[in-house]
Amino acid sequence: MHLEVKLTNRSSSVVGPFALSVIPYQDYQNGVHNYDLKNIVTFVGSNTFFIGSVQPTEHSVCFGSLLFLYTGDFYLDIKFQDDNSGRELPLSWFCLPSVHVRAVDTVSETHF
């Protein structure tokens, strides 16, 4: 699956730098989230992207790919973290809502 995350700066000042992370999980609908998906979902490349400063009204786009090894319903948390090294504890926040992904079998047709 191709992934594109776009950050648009709607403020009147420059924002950034940020580290953007995509975190997949399964929601068991009983209050339990399974984040241990290392044998189920894999990233082609990294799941973390660096975003430099973004000017007001400008945007930054991150591209990535995920490979789902099994079918099912998955969710992606998108987390931003302030990448300013001047802070002892960097600010971080999640984008809401999580992105829902349904991985299904692909059926190939054979013509005789």
pLDDT in tens, 73-92: 999 999 999 877 666 767 88
**Which positions ≥6 away from 88 have C-beta within 8 Å?**
none
Nearest CA-CA partner of 2 in 36, 31, 45: 45
Q: Is residue 33 part of a domain?
A: yes
H-state helical runs in the chain? none
Q: Is residue 112 part of a domain?
A: no
Residue 46, token pair as written in the block: 């990294």
Q: Is residue 109 part of a domain?
A: no
Range of the domain at 17: 2-103
Whole-number pLDDT of residue 94: 86
Q: Is residue 54 part of a domain?
A: yes
Q: For the chain, how many structural domains are there in total? A: 1
In whole angstroms, what is the distance from residue 52 CA to residue 55 CA? Answer: 10
* 63: CATH: 2.60.40
Neighbours of 79 (CB within 10 A): 16
Whole-prediction pTM: 0.81
Q: Is residue 108 part of a domain?
A: no
